[in-house]
Structures are given as structure tokens and as C-alpha cells.
Structure 1
Amino acid sequence: MSATRTADEATVEQLRDLPPSAKLVAKVLEYEDTLTQSELAEETLLPPRTVRYALTRLDEAGVVDSRFSFTDARKRLYTLAVAE
């Protein structure tokens, strides 16, 4: 398991009004650090479409960061956004 990134108070506040699926995806990213959309679907046991919706909502709230994978440019890697 990767180093754990804890959610700060601002992140928790941003998550408050999001759907449960988005909260679950954020919690998995908190423990796993960096995952692809398919890995998130596997870890959360949510359908890929639900994970995609959750990631969209988290991105709109500024809770997740995404970048292209260096090993497969067709995939994106998601992490919790770091508050500075």
C-alpha cells in the first residue's frame, strides 16, 4: 500500500454535499494514493459509469488531480488534490 494521504478539513467540507459514490472514491484515493479509473472501479466495486460520474464531481469540487499515465497515455491517474 502507498503512503496514506489524509484529507484535511477543507477537503472534508468540499465532500460534504457530494454523492456517496464520490465520497467512497475520495476515501479509496486517500488510502491508495494514485489509481486509474478502472482500478477505482475494482477497489470500490462500483460500476465504471458511477466511478466516472464520481470523478467528474470530485474534479468540479477541486478534490482530485488527474494526469496522463506515462505507461499508457490512454489512461489517466487520479490522486487527491493537495491543499497548499
Structure 2
Amino acid sequence: MARSTSRSPAEQDTDILDLPPSAKLVAKTLEYEGEATQSQLAESTLLSPRTVRDAVTRLEESGIVMSRISFQDARQRVYSLDEGLPGR
């Protein structure tokens, strides 16, 4: 999903503050460990796969996380923080 470029950094900060703790944990994990698949995120965060799936969906909708198809396994998506975010 494309991120709106007309949103201010303050609006983006508000988005992350409104997210559940699981989504914040996934975002921090991506920040510290780099890109990962949903299964890798579930293993790293100790969250259930369903919770991780919900978290990455919310993060993508907020424009905080981007995804791409995995080169190693086209059935999986690889998630990373959006490089266009402030401080990245």
C-alpha cells in the first residue's frame, strides 16, 4: 500500500502512538534487526503469527513499514521500515 507523502512527521508520530503494543514491538524489532518475514518477526518478538500479521498490516496501512516479495521464497513477503520516515 502506498504511503501518502503529504503527511507531516507529527501526523506519522501520532499514527505510531495510536498503534497497539504488538505493532510497536514489531516496528522496533525491524528497526534493530532489519528486514524480516512474518515468521522471523514472530520468532524474534515471541508474538503469535496471527498477532504479527495484524501488526504488519497496521504498520503498512500507517506507512511505517514497507513490504516486498522475498527473492528466496516468492510465497513470503519481507518487511522493513519505510526509508522515507524521519530519522531513517
Same fold at TM > 0.5: yes
**Cα RMSD (Å):** 1.7
Q: Distance in 2 between matches of 1:68 and 1:23?
A: 23
Task: Choose 1 or 2 for highest CA Rg.
Answer: 2
Q: Distance in 1 between matches of 2:37 and 2:80?
A: 9
Identity %: 60
Flag structure 2 segments of 5+ consecutive residues without an equivalent: 1-8
Residue 81 of structure 1: aligned partner: 82
Q: Distance in 2 between matches of 1:80 and 1:10?
A: 17
> Structure 1 segments of 4 or more deviating over 6 A?
none
TM (norm. structure 1) is 0.84
Residue 18 of structure 2: aligned partner: 17
Aligned residues: 77
Residue 43 of structure 2: aligned partner: 42
SS in 2 for 1:70: coil
Flag structure 1 segments of 5+ consecutive residues without an equivalent: 1-7
SS in 1 for 2:40: helix
TM (norm. structure 2) is 0.80
The one-letter code matched in structure 1 to 2:55 is: A
